[in-house]
Every structure is written in structure tokens, then in C-alpha cells.
Chains A and B, each alone.
Chain A
């Protein structure tokens, strides 16, 4: 079995465990490449079906073509979509683009708090998230099944042991588990798989006529494109094989201070 198939089979196994073990299970879909691969893997796991509702945390600062792409796939693939957001903060204008919050504070309210609100509202006790270990160092320490307490906090110093594909599926009331089926994939693996499976992605990943493309996509005020001539999947794979720039170099919120992002993740950020 080639290594992409190994990664795929492992992810399917994890998704099926989650589907069996959690009564209220949701799957985060940021519309980016990773969570779109995740969605594809769900269709693999459930043989063409997606029996898990997708949760999109909409900050209102998403690039408009992402929302179009989202709504098209919901229709074509017959998906259940739940959209969450933080109306109060948007109404008060306490956001980074309005100049009334730092980038990290803005992520904290528009993404993390909005996520908590939507999880609470739908009483999800399991959430599938498409984070990968190679994205960013605190994610490198994640478990496949990672418990969060009732305040959504991540106790990173005391994580459960995980061995032989036996995951943490017993937990206290009010806690929830983040499930990370893509943890063992790299950015390059994701693209190799996109190529193999011919997975449709938003065009923002491919270089435009100005010679720019997005490598990682978030809200437009905090996400910057990279210089690139890679206008299709194959060219992106070639580019990634040579690059030495980290994937999230274009994500400004990661760099506000040495441990800003770590704090955000401990508090429940994805």
C-alpha cells in the first residue's frame, strides 16, 4: 500500500470511530483545502454519504468566493450545513479590521467564541477538525481524540495517552472531544491527495495573472497571498517540494507575540 493510501485509511478509521462514539458529532468546514479533503475523506468513510453536519464558523471577513463555493458544494453533495458566527461582536464592531481589537483578540471572538457558541447551541460532544501536525508547533502536540473541558480549554500538559488506535472516547459530562483525522498529513500530502482524487478546491489556491496565490486561507484582513506561478495542482506540488517557507507565513495572527497563538489554542481555538 502506498503512503497516501495509508494516510487515507488511517483517517477513515478515525472518522468511523468518531461517528460511532459520539451522539452529537459535527465537522468543522473552513472551506479551505484541509477541511475540504476532510469532507472528501468523510465521503470515503461513509461510502458516498456525509452523515455528519458541517459547521462553518463565518467571521463575515471570509473571501466572498469561499461562500459561493461552500453553498454550491452543499447543494451538489447534499450536505447538512450549520453556520455559526459572533453577531454581538460584529454589531459592536470590536474587530481587527475596525481597529478595535488586535488580530489575536479578533480571532478569539470571531472564531473561537463563535465556535463555542455554535457547539453549545447544537450540543455537540464531538467535533471533527482538519488540523495537521505539520502546520504549526502546538498542533504537532495534538492527539487524534483531544478532550476540551466545558470552557473549551485544552490541557496540553496533561493529554491522554493514545496507543494502537485506541482513542479517548470516555469523558466527563459537559466536556467535548476534538477529533483530528488529518493530524498525520503534511501540506504536501494534502496536495498529492487532491491530485490523486481530483478534489475540487476554491480557485484562490491557484496563482492568478498577477503571479499570486494563497497557500493558507483565512479572513482577508489577516491572510496574505504568496508570490507563485503555480496555477494548478501539479505545479503546487512541485513548488512545495522545493519551498522552505512555512505554510502559515501568510497568516498574520500567528505572529503577534511568541506564544500568542499557543494561548489562543489552549483557550479552544482550532
Chain B
């Protein structure tokens, strides 16, 4: 039957699951044939191959694309194939039924919105029939129809069908699943697939095809949930600093006041960024967008934005139900990586409440004292993370209520977060993370400054490479030292050897580099030292961050200004030449932006001043600042 359709408006993904050899791939082949969805010549080609190999023709060969699958007549890996009805486009996900390939079944099913579960009428309910039913529920698939296949074998017997329905319905009920319906079929002969079978007139329900179109729905995002916007990355391709991410729940709009986990910092949405799309001041669930903020705060991948009025939980212990697919067991006492939305954190098993055989639903008891969850087992447990994680319970918000566990290089388990009496975080930033308070000693900064007879402060030299920052820094240090002041130059390279040795030169790492330098500089200043830094620090927001964490009046931004032509001519390290030759990517001033300070305390034109003159200006400025030091010791 040749079918042409006007615009399909929706797409539904359906996974086909069930025990090995219960006819999943055969069913899909038949469904495609009976709906006229097979490509031209495909059937003939498969028949010819079967003939050449001297084996009977199998519908399953349509899906089992791998030679090893055809050789063994089994499905090893999940596969996807498309077809259309008048109503919508379908993505059919064929999943393997072998226990051995459960991770592939989970991969297929985790992508689906609905499921067809096949049971062989002859063999009846088997181990994987039950396990798959259990896992579908855990994977969040609520729309399930059960196909009792191979009805030709028990002579299309209604009694056999009723028996299987009764047994399996009871099982599903015990795990909290209510199936849409049970349909008796024969995939091999095409009974009740696209047309009603004349051999089972006792069956009064719809065909499989009608079930797809009429019983199943495309899931709609729930727009009324609280906003969850996990930050995927921070882009700075031009002058804008854009937070990239996908709206996982709720919606976001310009003017929304956001609170970010885990820092508890707040800012307001300035713009919603898209490319080649209709301009809109808001974004709905599922949209991958960019966001700029009115007030620059430190945000990186893994942060989660929410509205101040409804933030997620943020804790380092939660209750979960987990299935384990890893070759090696999930062991208590060992550290794993947990990934939840864009967060990644080290975790371990806190306590295991129970381990379940997901087929028999029996609780597994272990001999010996070692606590672990084995392959293909399910557990209810508490997980402890090294740092607090922002999350929701699966019952509240699905995308932020589930996680995976990585063992070594491999995703080895998945879990959903169960309800518990989690303390709801308040949006009051005074209650900020984890009860860490700044501890105050008995000597104050004021007392230190009084004894030193000068203030502790951060002299932050910023400017292009070759503008003269390092030269000025070292001369300034000598000059102030000679005047008897406590002074220290925080050198960029030295920092990268030690404290920042884990950082590279990516955007994110550069920002983190500056943040750490800023934090160290702040401590030096607090200790009463004049700390001089010489970093290009091209981004205004990075410098402003340091300004923000340093006490009022203790951050002296010095714009070491020389035209790029002059710097390039000086080129003391030969870097400009390399950048022009394309050997250095993202070189400030050539292929990466430099955001000049707008409110620097001092601006020094090194193309017009000599080094001693430049140093003199800074010394003079600091002296003025110290004049209001009128304490008596």
C-alpha cells in the first residue's frame, strides 16, 4: 500500500522489548511490510540472501544488520527504524532480549516514550519479560502495550492468551505499571498487526497499528514546573559572556531573577540568545539556548540555574533506586563518578537498603560482609557525594531527578532519586553553602596596616602582552621594598607551576586561573602585603570578580596601556610573531579580544612614559591611599 502524507506534526518513539526469541525483530519486520514501509527491493534482497545461505527467510533480518546477528539469529544491539502512519511519524527502537545485552536494551528503552512488550504464547512469561517490564517503569516509560506473540502455536487459543494476560498483568501491577492493553498477535503471519485477524474473532480490541495511533500519546513537556536550567558551558566568542544550556524544566524569560547552585549567587536574565531564529524574550522546556546576565557572576559548567522562589535541593546525600549494568559490581567503599544533568561529582555508596532481582522481585541477600550491587541487579540505596549536588526527586522533576554512575571509563549504572524528607534550601543567600564561615582571628587587618604603616592591597596590572606589565611589576616591587614596604609579586608562571598546575588555557581554565589568583591576592592583601599581579587578564568580568572579592579600596586596577602595534613591535617573547603565523590560537589582541578597563584606578601609557616614570605614578597613587592611615599603634 503506497502512502503519501501531508506534513506529519509529531513523532513518537516506541521501544520493542521482551524475552529473547519472543519475536521482537520479526514483529518489526512484519509491521514494516504490512504498512508498506519497506524500501523497494529490500524484501527480495533478504529472501535472496536467505536462499543463498540455505536458511529460511527471517523477517528479523531486516533489523539485525550485523553479520554476527544474522549468523546467530539474535539481536545484539539496539537499532532504530522509521515509519509513518496517517497520524504521525514513528521511530521504532528494537531492543535485544538477551540478558547479556541488557545495557543495549536500556540504551534503546531510555530513549522511548512508549513500549510494546512481546511475550511468546508458547513459552509464556519468562525472565526478561519480567525484567524488561520492571526496567521500563524505572526508565520512566508509562505507556505500555503487551503483545502476546506466536498465537499460531497454541492454535490461536483464547484460553492461553487469557492465562498469560492474567499472570503478566499481576506482575506489572506489583511493580506499579498499568498496561494499556494486551493484544494477541502472530508476527510471522501478520495477525492483528495492521489488520484484524480472522483466526481470532474472539478478540475484540484494536490492532497493533490502531493501538499505536489511538492509545499512545506524544509526551508533552510540563511547562508549569519550576525552572531548571543546568549550565552546559560558558561561551565568550565575542564581547558577550553567554551561558549555554538546555531548559530542562519550566521556562525562562528576560528579567527572571536566577539563583545558581552551588554558589547561591544570583543575577538577572538580560537576554536570551539564539542564532538564526525568531527573536523571543523567553524559552520553553527543551530549548537549547544561551543566556546573558545583567550582573556578571562566576558561573561554570555544572551550575544549575533556577528561580529564586523554587530552587532545587542541594545536598550531598540522597536516596535512589539504581540499576547496575557494569561488568564489575558497584561496591561500597569505592569511589565512582556521578553525572546528573551537567554536574559531575565523585560519589560512593552510603548505605544499601535492599537489592532486588528485577525479574523475580526477590530481595537478594549476600553471604559475607562485602556490600555490592551486581550486574543487572537493582538496588534501593543512599548515595553520598563529595560535594553537594543540585537535584530534584524523580516524582517532582524528571530530568534533574536521575543520574548515571561512571566506573572507570564506562557508564555502568543509572538511577532515579526517590522522595525523602530532604531539607528545602532557602533562597536567602546568608544561609549559603554548607555552613562554611569566614573565621576571624584576633589580629585585625587594621592592626596589621597600622604596624606596617601602609595598606595591604592588590595592585592588578592588566594589559596586552608586551605592554610592560612584568617589567613594571618587578621594578615596582623593588621600589616599594626599598621603601620598607611589605610587597610581593604574584607571578603568573609561578602560579601555574603550583596552585594552578591542573589548569590549561581553555576559556574556562583561564577564568579559573584568574579567580584563584584573585583569591590568593585577596589573602595576601588581608595579611597586609602590597601584592602586585601582572596578568593580561583580558576579560572585564574576570577582573571585576577579583575587585568584588577584595575589600573596598583595596583593589587597584592599573591599565598598562600601549597600542597593539607598539606591543607587537616590542614582542619580547616572540609571541606576536607566532600568533600571526597561526601557531598560537586565541592570542589576545590578535585573535582574541581584550576588554579594556572602564574604571581603572590608574592608566599608564607605556608608549609615552619611561619605566621609572610609570613605577613612580603607581608609588605616588599608593602613597596617597596610605595618607588616611592615621592610626596609632
| Residue among A49, A133, A166 making CB contact with B237, cutoff 8 Å | A49
Contact residues in B for A2 (Cβ distance below 8 Å): 9
For window 308-344 of B, CB contacts with A under 8 Å fall at: 325, 337, 339
Contact residues in B for A140 (Cβ distance below 8 Å): 65, 79-81
Contact with A along B238-254 (1 / 0, CB 8 A): 10001010100000000
Decide: A13 and B288 in contact? CB cutoff 8 A: yes
Decide: A51 and B237 in contact? CB cutoff 8 A: yes
A141 within 8 A of B: yes
| Residue among A16, A45, A133, A170 making CB contact with B406, cutoff 8 Å | A170
| Residue among A161, A172, A244 making CB contact with B39, cutoff 8 Å | A244
CB distance from B86 to the nearest CB of A (A): 13
Q: In the complex, A257 Cα to B430 Cα: how many Å?
A: 70
Known: A157-B68, A161-B325, A258-B49. A48 touches B40 (CB 8 A): no
CB distance from A194 to the nearest CB of B (A): 13
Decide: B411 and A166 in contact? CB cutoff 8 A: yes
Q: Which residue of A lies closest to B407 (CB)?
A: A170
Contact residues in B for A6 (Cβ distance below 8 Å): 11, 286
CB distance from A257 to the nearest CB of B (A): 10
Known: A1-B287, A166-B339, A166-B411. A246 touches B42 (CB 8 A): yes
Q: In the complex, A5 Cα to B68 Cα: how many Å?
A: 37
Contact residues in A for B5 (Cβ distance below 8 Å): 241
Contact residues in B for A161 (Cβ distance below 8 Å): 103-104, 106-107, 325, 411-412, 414
Q: Which residue of B lies closest to A139 (CB)?
A: B65
Contact with A along B254-293 (1 / 0, CB 8 A): 0000000000000000000111110000001011101000
Q: In the complex, A2 Cα to B595 Cα: how many Å?
A: 40
| Residue among A164, A242, A262 making CB contact with B66, cutoff 8 Å | A262
Q: How many A-B residue pairs have CB under 8 A?
A: 154
Contact with A along B393-413 (1 / 0, CB 8 A): 000000100111010111110
Decide: A16 and B244 in contact? CB cutoff 8 A: yes
For window 143-198 of A, CB contacts with B under 8 Å fall at: 143, 156-157, 159-164, 166, 168, 170-172, 184, 186, 197
Decide: A47 and B290 in contact? CB cutoff 8 A: yes
CB distance from A152 to the nearest CB of B (A): 17
Contact residues in A for B111 (Cβ distance below 8 Å): 163
Decide: A9 and B286 in contact? CB cutoff 8 A: yes
Q: In the complex, A241 Cα to B89 Cα: how many Å?
A: 12
Q: In the complex, A88 Cα to B313 Cα: how many Å?
A: 60
Decide: A163 and B106 in contact? CB cutoff 8 A: yes
Decide: B107 and A162 in contact? CB cutoff 8 A: yes
Contact residues in A for B78 (Cβ distance below 8 Å): 141
Decide: B80 and A9 in contact? CB cutoff 8 A: no
For window 26-75 of B, CB contacts with A under 8 Å fall at: 38-42, 49, 63, 65-68
A259 within 8 A of B: yes
Decide: A3 and B10 in contact? CB cutoff 8 A: yes
B233 within 8 A of A: yes
For window 107-123 of B, CB contacts with A under 8 Å fall at: 107, 110-111
Contact with B along A195-215 (1 / 0, CB 8 A): 001000000000000000000
Contact residues in B for A13 (Cβ distance below 8 Å): 232, 246, 288
Contact residues in B for A166 (Cβ distance below 8 Å): 339, 403-404, 411, 414
Contact residues in B for A168 (Cβ distance below 8 Å): 409-411
| Residue among B2, B276, B412 making CB contact with A43, cutoff 8 Å | B276
CB distance from B406 to the nearest CB of A (A): 6
Q: In the complex, A186 Cα to B286 Cα: how many Å?
A: 20
Decide: A163 and B232 in contact? CB cutoff 8 A: no
Decide: A164 and B237 in contact? CB cutoff 8 A: no
Contact residues in B for A160 (Cβ distance below 8 Å): 103, 410-411
A65 within 8 A of B: no
CB distance from A101 to the nearest CB of B (A): 22
Contact residues in A for B82 (Cβ distance below 8 Å): 134, 186
Q: In the complex, A1 Cα to B106 Cα: how many Å?
A: 26
Contact with B along A12-37 (1 / 0, CB 8 A): 11001101100100000000000000
Decide: A262 and B337 in contact? CB cutoff 8 A: no
Decide: B110 and A162 in contact? CB cutoff 8 A: yes
| Residue among B79, B301, B409 making CB contact with A172, cutoff 8 Å | B409
Q: In the complex, A159 Cα to B126 Cα: how many Å?
A: 26
Q: Which residue of A lies closest to B240 (CB)?
A: A47
Decide: A246 and B288 in contact? CB cutoff 8 A: no
Known: A9-B246, A159-B104, A168-B411. A47 touches B235 (CB 8 A): yes
| Residue among B49, B89, B290 making CB contact with A3, cutoff 8 Å | B89
B139 within 8 A of A: yes
A44 within 8 A of B: yes
Contact residues in A for B104 (Cβ distance below 8 Å): 159, 161
Decide: A163 and B287 in contact? CB cutoff 8 A: no
CB distance from B274 to the nearest CB of A (A): 7
Contact residues in A for B325 (Cβ distance below 8 Å): 161
CB distance from A2 to the nearest CB of B (A): 7
Query: Which of B8, B40, B66, B506 has the most chain A CB within a 10 Å cutoff?
Result: B66
Contact residues in A for B246 (Cβ distance below 8 Å): 9, 12-13
Contact residues in B for A162 (Cβ distance below 8 Å): 107, 110, 411
B77 within 8 A of A: yes
Q: In the complex, A73 Cα to B451 Cα: how many Å?
A: 66
Query: Which of B38, B232, B402 has the most chain A CB within a 10 Å cutoff?
Result: B232
Contact residues in B for A246 (Cβ distance below 8 Å): 39-40, 42
B144 within 8 A of A: no
B181 within 8 A of A: no
Contact residues in B for A221 (Cβ distance below 8 Å): none
Q: In the complex, A137 Cα to B69 Cα: how many Å?
A: 12
Q: Which residue of B lies closest to A138 (CB)?
A: B65
Known: A141-B79, A163-B110. A16 touches B233 (CB 8 A): yes
CB distance from B608 to the nearest CB of A (A): 36
Q: In the complex, A51 Cα to B235 Cα: how many Å?
A: 10
Contact residues in A for B238 (Cβ distance below 8 Å): 49
B4 within 8 A of A: yes
B389 within 8 A of A: no
Contact residues in B for A1 (Cβ distance below 8 Å): 221, 284, 286-287
What is the interface of chain A, defined by CB distance below 8 A to chain B? 1-3, 5-6, 9, 12-13, 16-17, 19-20, 23, 43-49, 51, 133-134, 137-138, 140-141, 143, 156-157, 159-164, 166, 168, 170-172, 184, 186, 197, 241-242, 244-246, 258-259, 262
Q: Sorted from nearest, which 8 A-B pairs have the closest CB atoms?
A: A137-B65, A163-B110, A12-B288, A161-B103, A244-B40, A3-B11, A259-B67, A166-B404
20 contacts between A and B (CB under 8 A): A3-B10, A5-B287, A13-B288, A20-B233, A48-B275, A133-B79, A137-B63, A140-B65, A143-B107, A157-B76, A162-B411, A163-B107, A163-B414, A166-B339, A166-B403, A166-B411, A171-B409, A186-B82, A242-B2, A244-B40
List 16 other contacts, CB 8 Å, given A13-B232, A16-B288, A160-B410.
A3-B11, A5-B287, A20-B232, A46-B235, A48-B275, A134-B80, A134-B82, A137-B63, A138-B66, A140-B80, A159-B104, A161-B325, A161-B411, A163-B411, A186-B82, A244-B40
